[in-house]
Amino acid sequence: MSDPTRRTILTIGSAGAIGGALALAGCAADSPAPSGSAGTTPPSEVKAPPTETTGPSTAPDAPALGGDIAAVADVPVGGSIDATIHGQPALIAQPTAGHVVAFSAICTHQQCVVAAAGAEFHCPCHGSMYDAATGDVVQGPAIDPLPPIAVAISGDRIVAAS
């Protein structure tokens, strides 16, 4: 093996220095430029990133409130009313004062629209009846209860909850 020439040593050394400088420049690209550098925005003109705006905050365990359904006063205590929730037929009942429940108005037997009837819900197609407080079947041919829909009271209004 022969000794490297002076030219070989200088070429290898220069390439290493240039590579090291490029590597350092690549690392520095993510660093903020010193203030007063050309092409930078003065700190007084830097704007904070936009924040997402949401509605009124609720407690972590509180349901998110949605669309208005009816006035609490429209639903008799111990009774029920027909309603629409999210564009779908629904039934609202107030089993006890200040406690409201809601159910899908689609019969679980053959998907007819069930009607509010006081303390019960009645299906006009085949005679199924449901308990307005629980959605449970009182009389068949339906065997499955009506699916519940989350609702809440906001002031004197019944609203959809999620």
Report pLDDT for 50: 39
**What would the mean pLDDT of 124-128 be, rounded to a whole number?**
94
Give the separation between CA 128 and CA 126, rounded to whole angstroms: 6
d(C-alpha 48, C-alpha 40), whole Å: 16
More confident residue, 59 or 124: 124
CATH of domain 65-161: 2.102.10.10
Provide the residue ranges of all domains of the chain, joining segments of one domain with +. Answer: 65-161
> Which pTM does this prediction carry?
0.60
Q: Dig out the tokens for 71 from the structure.
A: 């006035």
- The separation between CA 56 and the C-alpha centre of its own chain, rounded to angstroms, equals 14
Residue 161: its pLDDT value, please? 86
Q: Among the residues of the chain, which ranges form H helices? A: 6-28
For residue range 17-51, what is the model confidence (pLDDT) as tens digits? 555 444 444 444 444 444 444 444 444 444 443 33
Q: Which of 30-34, 55-59, 118-122 has the highest mean pLDDT?
A: 118-122
pLDDT of residue 67: 86
Region 129-152: what's the mean pLDDT?
95
Identity at 42, one-letter amino acid code: P
pLDDT in tens, 94-116: 999 999 999 999 999 999 999 99
Rounded Cα gap, residues 153 and 96, in angstroms: 13
Biggest CA pair distance of the chain: 106
Task: Band the pLDDT of 7: cuts 50, 70, 90.
Answer: low
pLDDT given for residue 27 in this prediction: 47
For all residues of the chain together, what is the average pLDDT? Answer: 75
Note the residue count of the chain: 162
97 residue type, one letter: A
